[in-house]
Amino acid sequence: MDKTQLWGSAITEHSPDRTIAMDTIRQGDTHSSVYGLLLIISLLISFRYTRRHIAPIINGSFYFARAWKAKDDVSLEISKVILFLIGLLHLSFLSSLFIQAYRPDLFGLFNWLLTPTFMVAFFLLYALKWSALSFIGWLVKKPNELRFLAKSARDYVILAAILTLPFTLFNLFLYVQKSDYLLFCGGVLSLFSLLLFFLRSFHLFLHLRFSVFLWILYLCTLEIAPLMLLYRIGLII
């Protein structure tokens, strides 16, 4: 509703819902700009050291033999750790963009905390997986082999980050109306990377001559159950 004062200037009053929505959009723009800039700076700083290892990491994600052969390469492992941390930052940022697009009420409440919260949660899930696989490897007297599976999880985080990076960058520079489609494509590619990791775990279990039942048990306890827990928490919130 417009009100005209004596001086001839017009003041526009908006409904509370529209004001809240506009505030959420402004918060989202600032949030996206800051974390997007942090992501780009991290990539630029690390690129000089990690650029020669990006291709081997991608190739190893699709070929089990190549990844197994390069498992003791220290220089490659250092690059994987660096890219893994940047990949966690990117996927956490992408997750916060999902919240912004599909749960603006939740984003308006926790906007600046969402990305670091997702990053801590993802890192804890990885630490839990690493600890569990190390313990199981100690029990079955194959610690290096099952630790390799935990390391492989980093490769697929890196792969997911690389595949979804164009959609994240496009989302930062395009209009909000186009964001939902880009985020959907990013989510599909992230699931594709997860399925590739499940296939990698199957190859490793066959290589170690473990039964298919043990592989299914591993998937249910260490892969699917934590994801379902996160999904249930999201529904509650």
Residue of higher predicted confidence among 221 and 178: 221
Residue 199's pLDDT is 93
Residue 237's pLDDT is 57
Residue 174's pLDDT is 65
Residue 196's pLDDT is 93
Residue 20 maps to a domain: no
Residue 122 maps to a domain: yes
Our count of domains for the chain comes to 1
Most confident of 5-9, 10-14, 71-75, 157-161: 157-161
Residue 132 maps to a domain: yes
Note down the domain range covering 38.
Answer: 25-236
Residue 198 has pLDDT above 60, yes or no: yes
Residue 21's pLDDT is 46
Residue 179's pLDDT is 60
Mean pLDDT of the chain: 80
Residue 4 maps to a domain: no
Residue 16 maps to a domain: no
Residue 173 maps to a domain: yes
pLDDT digits (tens, 9 = 90+) for 140-190: 888 888 889 999 999 999 999 999 988 888 777 764 444 667 778 888 888
Q: How far apart are the C-alpha atoms of 28 and 112, rounded to whole Å? A: 9
- pLDDT band at residue 19, thresholds of 50, 70 and 90? very low
For residues 88-99, give the mean pLDDT.
88
Residue 234's pLDDT is 59
Residue 141 maps to a domain: yes
